[in-house]
Amino acid sequence: MNRREFLKAMVGLGGILGSSLVQGCTQNQPDLVEPTHTTDPGPIEPIPTPSPEATSTPTRIAEGSMTRVAFVKTDDRSAGVLQAIDLLGNTHMNGKTIFLKPNFNSADPPPGSSHIDTLTTLIQKLQTMGADRITIGDRSGMGNTRRVMREKDIFRMADELGCETVVFDELDTNGWEKVQIEGSHWEQGFAVARPVLEADAVVQTCCLKTHRYGGHFTMSLKNSVGLVARTIPGEDHDYMSELHSSPDQRLMIAEINAAYHPDLIVLDGVEAFVTGGPDKGKLAASQLVLAGTDRIAIDAVGVAVLRYFGTTSTVGQGPIFQQEQIARAVDLGLGVTVPQDIELITGDPESEDYAAEIWELLVAE
């Protein structure tokens, strides 16, 4: 089998996407690191149209139990978001109310928080897919949420795009629903914002980074922490103090995710923190956008990418599915159970080659 045949078998080439998309804003970022693995993804050619369509149907390495992750190598966030969602396909939003969960942990530049270009493109794409109403909201972990959203210009963006916003810090007692998971490591369960649970569909967009405060890494599973109350008005218990002081923190992160199921996840990995995080860290030009519906699959691929660029000892050691967030999520039945059941879907040769390198790390023992 030659290299091209191997890459097709492992990754699932989806045909060349003759697409040209909106060019995203580029920010000056310090101290970008090079990959430590054998192949450098390198720069990509710009994609030429605003609405990408595959010229052929993406091939698949298996049917049935496989979970698909669209894998786009790009340094253009807007292009990558559109291309990844189109590659993923089968995402039904017509007539649905959507809750959009970004990463507003702080107001720091990406990957410290979600880029406004990623959010704008994602919202516009959901609208073209027939979404009825979109609400964007979060609870910041490292600051006042309203201030963070204001600094990131989210209220103006939402107004211009016709979206609603919700600041979880400002919800009253009725705005939270207590959740108990069997076998949970939470002392009293945890409380999830009702706007999330009441939406017809949940869309999540996360970043790609390590987490120096105990999460080890923060992607789609960890992004769900922002759905949980710090405190409920009129009650004394501090859920975040409990989480961050617990030796079971990474297990508890996974358990939050049992409270809801995302209909779409978009990971903005155009840049990554390979050490540090969640607000600041050592940057790598990871040039990647992922899309999927399985948090375990998204995070497992993300961990492989961090390893590709050289990361912390806690993220870099052992099989990826033995990382505690991922292992607990598997125990809870939240998604794929082994890395071999993750199908990477690509649409161009550069993405295909990059994905093949990541695949090797994903399935390594």
Each residue's pLDDT tens digit, 145-155: 999 999 999 99
How far is residue 243's CA from residue 23's CA, in Å, rounded to a whole number?
39
Q: What is the DSSP string of 23-35?
A: PPP----S-PBPP
Over residues 15-24, mean pLDDT = 32
- Spell out where the chain has E strands: 67-73, 97-101, 133-138, 164-167, 176-179, 190-193, 201-211, 216-218, 264-276, 281-284, 288-292, 342-345
Q: For residue range 77-135, list pLDDT tens digits in order.
A: 999 999 999 999 978 899 999 999 999 999 999 999 999 999 999 999 999 999 999 99
Task: Give the model's pLDDT for residue 32.
Answer: 56
Task: Give the model's pLDDT for residue 20.
Answer: 32
Composition of the chain by helix, strand, coil, percent to 5: 35, 20, 45
Separation of CA 329 from chain center: 15
Q: For residue range 168-184, list pLDDT tens digits in order.
A: 999 999 999 999 999 99
Task: Give the model's pLDDT for residue 24.
Answer: 34
How far is residue 338's CA from residue 321's CA, in Å, rounded to a whole number?
7
Q: What is the DSSP string of 178-209?
A: EE--TT-S-SS-EEEEHHHHHSSEEEEEEEEE
Residue 157 has pLDDT above 60, yes or no: yes
What total of structural domains would you count in the chain? 1
Task: Give the model's pLDDT for residue 143.
Answer: 86
Residue 300 has pLDDT above 60, yes or no: yes
Task: Give the model's pLDDT for residue 33.
Answer: 57
Range of the domain at 183: 3-22+29-362
Kindly state the tokens that stand for 208: 């790609």
End-to-end, the C-alpha distance of the chain in Å comes to 23
Task: Give the model's pLDDT for residue 3.
Answer: 39
- Mean pLDDT (the chain) is 87
Task: Give the model's pLDDT for residue 34.
Answer: 55
Q: Which residue has the tokens 């569909």?
A: 201
45: buried, middle or exposed (CB in 10 Å: 19+, 13-18, 0-12)? exposed
Least confident of 50-64, 120-134, 274-288: 50-64
Over residues 250-273, mean pLDDT = 98
Better-predicted residue by pLDDT, 250 or 59: 250
Percentage with pLDDT > 70 across the chain: 82
At 7, is the pLDDT very low, low, confident or very high (cuts 50, 70, 90)? very low
